[in-house]
Amino acid sequence: MAGSSEEAPDYGRGVVILDNWPGYDLNLFTYPQHYYGDLEYVLIPHGIIVDRIERLAKDIMKDIGYCDIMVLCVLKGGYKFCADLVEHLKSISRNSDRFVSMKVDFIRLKSYRNDQSMDEMQIIGGDDLSTLAGKNVLIVEDVVGTGRTMKALLSSIEKYKPNMIKVASLLVKRTPRSDGFRPDSHMCDQ
């Protein structure tokens, strides 16, 4: 299965934001005026996000082995992260000996109804998931919280027998409710 459920989290492939991290002073950055008065600090500067996404792309290409990739972007939050990650993957492909074909599809996951967790998760949108058979699948998600939704998605996708499934996440929340799931690649733990 993609990701891992190890007891001890592996922070080797992500930036860790400690609970007591005060953030960066706002005076160190420029930001839109409509945020004035609403922000207290910058937790992750834009440059760090850009650098980590570029590194994630390199790690993903290394892990997948410069093979064609079917990217499944989990909406709504994953859109910008996915777009940036795919651009870096394309750039790596263009600058290598081997062209990597990428197809991007979008899905939404519904595991709540009226703020109540449902027993089953619904996958909304996307092409017929049976087309994932034999493909290298990269799931791109903005935030992995408890990990339960991602595990349910992986279980659904594995039924179609893809060649490989990798999960990339922008953030991984540290939460006592976590089931220990860790994406294969992530930007940072918060």
Tokens coding 131: 């087309």
Cα torsion angle, 1, 69, 185, 78, sign: negative
CA dist 85 and 91 (Å) reads 10
Smallest CA-to-CA distance from 172 within 1, 9, 23 is with 9
Q: According to the model, what pLDDT value does residue 121 have?
A: 77
Quick: pLDDT tens for 155-187.
Answer: 889 999 999 999 999 888 777 676 666 666 654
Share of the chain above pLDDT 70, in %: 82
With beta carbons less than 8 A apart as the criterion, state whether 116 and 87 touch: no
Smallest CA-to-CA distance from 8 within 182, 127, 134 is with 182
Q: According to the model, what pLDDT value does residue 120 have?
A: 73
State the angle between helix axes of 79-94 and 46-64 in degrees (0 to 180), rounded to the nearest 10: 60
CA dist 74 and 32 (Å) reads 27
3-class DSSP state for residue 97? Answer: coil
CA dist 163 and 141 (Å) reads 20
Quick: pLDDT tens for 33-63.
Answer: 999 999 999 999 999 999 999 999 999 998 8
Answer whether residue 10 shows pLDDT above 50: no
Average pLDDT estimate for 129-150: 88
Share of the chain above pLDDT 90, in %: 50
Smallest CA-to-CA distance from 89 within 111, 69, 113 is with 69
Peptide bond into 173 cis (omega under 30): no
